[in-house]
Amino acid sequence: MRRQVRALGGMAAISAAILAGTATQATAATPPLSDPRVAAHFDIDAGQTPEGIALEPDGSALISLTNASSVVRVRGTGRVELLGALPRTGACPILQGSFSSGIARAADGTIYVVNCTGNADSGVWRIRGHGSPEQIAHLPADAFPNGLTLDERTGNLYIADSNLGVVWKVPRAGGVPVVWAKGPELARVDLFGANGITVRGRYVWVSNTDTGTIVKIPVAPNGSAGPIQTVVSGIAGGLDNFTVFGRDDAILAAVNGTSEVVLLRRGQAPQVVLTAADGLSNPTHVQLRGNTVYVSNGAFFTRTDPNLLVARLDRRP
């Protein structure tokens, strides 16, 4: 089951290109967000398109660079370190190229990332310490593993499949994936079905880009998926990955096509809180630690300034 690959030596120069313009200050933002700034710039021509974000206890951000099929760490100082490169051996469904997106970090520091190649290298990969990436689960060639999240409580990884429109479940130790949830709420309509994914409480939350919706799926006591419940709808423009926070389960979501981050609260209209004026460039994922918001920007369509942006969240009601 396990296959290892070593990081490409030539990519060790990644930091030099990225750090040429770190920590630039943006100017706008709408409360409750403030003080947006670009913490790290990346090189679009080198395939350094930030996608997934996983956060470390010291505030460092683990970023998957989709078109480079690699994982980097962005320190609080802006320093960028290459952690591993995954195989680029085939063509992911829909995109027709190798693609690495979803990323998760366990409490023990183990990193998990999904790889989409349309062949045997598609699936879940693990990085431990300074070791080489190793594959711990294979997914079908027609799967498009996109979002990834880890439920520390159950020890399971959940993968949003944007092509087949399902959520896969894999034990964090590795093994054979099983379809955990499926239904029209997760299905692909035009381009991307199930996309972003996170665990919050005893629910797995999933966004569907094509339908502009976010659903939550209960994790039953026996580990099975309960009825799918739609909690957000009508988000046009390319809804991507998101984070859920607060006592009211508020959501900060990336809207890729319009280069916006929106705040979604129950019973309220969506509020745009970050835009391209703040440094967004086709955002893909939003994460939150304490009062710090992290946004990855892939620049897939703008082709301008892929970056990691940070901002401050005022949590007061």
| 4, pLDDT greater than 70 | no
d(CA 273, CA 288): 14
Tell me the per-residue pLDDT of 232-246, one tens digit each, with 9 for 90 and over: 999 999 999 999 999
Q: Can you tell me the distance from the alpha carbon of 112 to that of 127, in angstroms, rounded to the nearest whole number?
A: 6
Per-residue model confidence as pLDDT tens digits over 272-312: 999 999 999 999 999 999 999 999 999 999 999 999 999 99
Q: How many percent of the chain have pLDDT more than 90?
A: 89
pLDDT tens-place string over residues 50-86: 999 999 999 999 999 999 999 999 999 999 999 999 9
**Residue, of 16 and 143, whose pLDDT is higher:** 143
- Which residues pair with residue 309 across a beta bridge? 38, 295
CA 139, CA 144: separation in Å to the nearest integer? 9
The per-residue pLDDT for 294 is 98
Q: Is the pLDDT of residue 5 over 80?
A: no
CA distances from 51 to 224, 254, 294 (A): 29, 11, 11
Nearest to 18, CA basis, from 80, 96, 88:
80
Domains of the chain: 86-234 (2.120.10.30)
Contacting residues for 62 by C-beta, under 8 A, at least 6 apart? 53, 54, 55, 56, 71, 72, 73, 74, 83, 103, 105, 111
Contact 177, 123 (CB under 8 A): yes
